[in-house]
């Protein structure tokens, strides 16, 4: 039957059995592995965000420099038709854009995504004698889908207006 002294003896024992310790370690292991998985995912997301921010900085730099180039060859030795020729010679690689302008790309971009200058392309398509369609495809890994950006360069834009007679 039910022995009151025996029940009290079981409840008063100190310590844990080997099975209880193993179960506690297994449960703690699952918890730690879940937290470590979150850290790894956070690091990957952080790296991806850093690369994308560098991509946006690169695009901003290219677009601002492109906006400053005059469309009219009479307004300077660096112009959109000359850039069109330089891009055609160098397979439209973004590195040829910076070589043509004889300027360095942003250092912060080169630290984060240095391969972007060789995997990215800049395409200028003359829509008319006064409008150029710009398509910039930025990629920083060999087989990745590029991030695409587009705009127009129009003769009589900000730089042409400032330099025109």
32 pLDDT tier (thresholds 50, 70, 90)? very high
Q: How far apart are CA 26 and CA 151, in angstroms?
A: 57
Output the pLDDT for position 119. Answer: 86
pLDDT above 60 for 86:
yes
Q: How far apart are CA 88 and CA 100, in angstroms?
A: 12
Q: Which residues contact 145 (CB under 8 A, 6 or more apart)?
A: 139
Q: How far apart are CA 67 and CA 74, in angstroms?
A: 17
Output the pLDDT for position 28. Answer: 93
Q: How far apart are CA 30 and CA 145, in angstroms?
A: 36
Q: How far apart are CA 125 and CA 83, in angstroms?
A: 11
* Residue 40 CA, distance from chain mean position: 19
pLDDT above 60 for 162:
no
Taking alpha carbons only, the member of 82, 62, 61 closest to residue 72 is: 82
Output the pLDDT for position 100. Answer: 87
Q: Are 137 and 120 contacting, i.e. CB atoms less than 8 angstroms apart?
A: yes
- The neighbour count for residue 22, using CB atoms within 10 Å, is 11
- Of residues 161 and 72, which shows the higher confidence score? 72
Q: Taking residues 17-25, report their average pLDDT.
A: 88
pLDDT above 50 for 164:
no
Q: Are 117 and 104 contacting, i.e. CB atoms less than 8 angstroms apart?
A: no
**Exposed, middle or buried by CB within 10 Å (0-12, 13-18, 19+), for 41?**
exposed
Q: Taking residues 11-19, report their average pLDDT.
A: 71
161 pLDDT tier (thresholds 50, 70, 90)? very low
Output the pLDDT for position 4. Answer: 61
Q: Taking residues 55-73, report their average pLDDT.
A: 84
Please tell me the total number of residues recorded for the chain in this structure: 165
Residue 73, SS3 per DSSP: helix
For the chain, the average pLDDT equals 80
- Output the pTM of the full model: 0.69
* Residue 146 CA, distance from chain mean position: 10
Q: Taking residues 85-110, report their average pLDDT.
A: 85
- Of residues 24 and 158, which shows the higher confidence score? 24
Task: Return the percentage of the chain with pLDDT > 90, whole number.
Answer: 6
């Amino acid at each position: 039957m039910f022995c009151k002294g025996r029940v009290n003896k079981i409840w008063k024992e100190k310590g844990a059995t080997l099975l209880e310790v193993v179960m506690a370690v297994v449960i703690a292991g699952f918890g730690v592995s879940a937290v470590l998985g979150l850290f790894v995912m956070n690091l990957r997301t952080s790296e991806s965000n850093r690369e994308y921010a560098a991509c946006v900085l690169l695009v901003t730099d290219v677009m601002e420099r492109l906006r400053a180039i005059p469309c009219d060859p009479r307004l300077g030795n660096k112009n959109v038709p000359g850039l069109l020729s330089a891009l055609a010679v160098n397979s439209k690689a973004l590195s040829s854009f910076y070589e043509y302008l004889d300027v360095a790309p942003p250092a912060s971009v080169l630290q984060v995504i240095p391969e972007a200058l060789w995997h990215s392309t800049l395409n200028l398509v003359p829509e008319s004698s006064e409008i150029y369609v710009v398509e910039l495809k930025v990629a920083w890994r060999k087989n990745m889908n590029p991030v695409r950006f587009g705009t127009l360069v129009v003769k009589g834009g900000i730089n042409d207006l400032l330099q025109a007679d």
